[in-house]
Structure 1
Amino acid sequence: MKALIVEDDQFHATYLQDALAEALPEVTEIFHAADGVAGEEDARQGGIEAIVMDLQMDRRNGIEAARTIWAERPQSRILFWSNYADDAYLRGIAQIVPEDSAYGYVLKTASRDRLKLALRAVLIEGQIMVDREIHRRQKSGASLRTRLDDSEFAVLVDLALGLQDKLIAERQGMSLRTVQNRLLSLYEKLGVLSEFDDRLTLNKRVRALNRALVTRTINLETLEAAQRDLEAWLVDRS
């Protein structure tokens, strides 16, 4: 069995290589790619179905690299690991993972035993595994009442891309009224409405984007992937 590590930090790559060797005796070869572009190229060489993927890398981030790998080889099993427990990452992964593929998400701060458990569960047993610490951090950062649902998140991303309400409605298959209701809801959940009083004149859309970035509801990787999707949609639309 061949495994691929996609990680731009050499220390972390060496740590992963050792953990893989300990947890997966089935692995006969371990390859290392220093960024997402190299990871895509190495995955094309054939025979690699087990991948450990960093999320934040130069040239191409882990979400985009995984999207390409899964599009070409949907049977690939990918364990993502990151310093961040962003909800945006989980949403981004959920949007691109093939229906029957296994994936996992573990923090770099996880214990070695926890990492080894995730490596085996995802890459060998084909399970879907998200580290409980990620869920714990998300719950501590946002209550169920303030968590955006999928439709609100989709509208937020389109807002961040600069789309006006009518184009958001067309792109998301919503009525204009529905888009406006989603905007009001996400303004409230992001705490935008509470910032306004008679002394201030603020742009709600800009403040919503600001709050979403500060709270890491969306991140740079989310916007990069969304821009790619938007460009493809605009080509199809024309």
Structure 2
Amino acid sequence: MKILVAEDDRFHANYILDAISDALPEVTETVHALNGAEAEAEALGGAYDGIVMDLQMDGRNGIDAARTIWSHRPDSRILFWSNYADQAYLRGIARIVPEASAYGYVLKTASRERLTLALRAVLLEGQIMVNHELHQLQRKGPYDSALDESEYAILLDLALGLQDKAIAKRRNMSLRTVQNRLLSIYDKLGVEDAGGEMLNKRVRALNCAIRSKVLNLQVLESANAEYERWRQRD
């Protein structure tokens, strides 16, 4: 069994390599990539049974690296691990994971027992596993931001600066549908209760989304790259 670890922090790299050694005696080889770009090259150039992917790395984040890997090898088993419990990361991963692929998300603050369970469940057994602590932390957020996938896609377009007509064209929706989705987004993010007519609702929605960790910088970077690819095709 051959495992790829993508981690740019030496301390965390040593920790996860040691954890893999303990949790997966089936592993015969472990390769360490220092960043997302290196992880992509390794994953596409070699036969790996599983990947542990840090989400925040200089140069190329884990979501973008995973998207590239999955686009070429959709059966890749990837366990993401991170210091952050942002809803944005879970949304970003859910948008790119191929159907029926095994993946997981575990916090770096998780216990060694929880990490061992995640490593074996995702990389060895091919299960989907998300650290239960993520859901506990997310429920403490200030907003009921349970956006559906359509609303979340429009929120990303909003963050990229697209006007309603451009969003409708990109998402293949009517203008009225986009505007109705925006009203729902405002309601779920608490925009109506956050200043009334004195505030720009579009800007306020982004402010609320960022503060409640529905959006973050890494996901916005990935969304921008995805938009540029769409624009070039259009």
Q: Tell me the TM-score normalised to structure 2 length.
A: 0.95
For structure 2, the 5+ residue unaligned runs are: none
Q: CA deviation at 1:150?
A: 1.5
Q: Deviations over 1:73-105 (max 9, x none)?
A: 122110000111111111111111111321000
Q: Deviations over 1:127-161 (max 9, x none)?
A: 00011111111222266x54222121111100000
Percent identity of equivalent pairs: 64
Answer yes or no: is the 8 Å Cα contact 2:142–2:212 preserved in 1. no
Paired residue for 1:125?
Answer: 125
Paired residue for 2:90?
Answer: 90
Paired residue for 1:236?
Answer: 233
| Paired residue secondary structure (1:15) | helix
Answer yes or no: is the 8 Å Cα contact 1:49–1:75 preserved in 2. no
Paired residue for 1:23?
Answer: 23
| Paired residue secondary structure (2:49) | strand
Distance in 2, matches of 1:25 and 1:153, equals: 41
Distance in 2, matches of 1:230 and 1:15, equals: 36
Distance in 2, matches of 1:153 and 1:197, equals: 23
Alignment of 1:20-169 (within 5 A): 20-141=20-141, 145-169=144-168
What is the letter of the counterpart of residue 148 of structure 2? D
Paired residue for 1:188?
Answer: 187
Q: Tell me the TM-score normalised to structure 1 length.
A: 0.94
Answer yes or no: is the 8 Å Cα contact 2:4–2:50 preserved in 1. yes
Paired residue for 1:179?
Answer: 178
Q: CA deviation at 1:207?
A: 1.5
Distance in 2, matches of 1:210 and 1:216, equals: 10
Matched residues, number: 234
Off by >3 Å, runs of 4+ in structure 1: none
Paired residue for 1:221?
Answer: 218
| Paired residue secondary structure (1:53) | strand
What is the letter of the counterpart of residue 160 of structure 2? L
| Paired residue secondary structure (1:177) | helix
| Paired residue secondary structure (2:126) | coil
Range with greater deviation from structure 2 (188-197 or 128-137): 188-197
Answer yes or no: is the 8 Å Cα contact 1:51–1:79 preserved in 2. yes
Distance in 2, matches of 1:75 and 1:152, equals: 28
What is the letter of the counterpart of residue 33 of structure 1? A
Q: CA deviation at 1:168?
A: 0.6
What is the letter of the counterpart of residue 231 of structure 1? E
Q: CA deviation at 1:197?
A: 4.1
What is the letter of the counterpart of residue 170 of structure 2? R
Q: CA deviation at 1:23?
A: 0.6
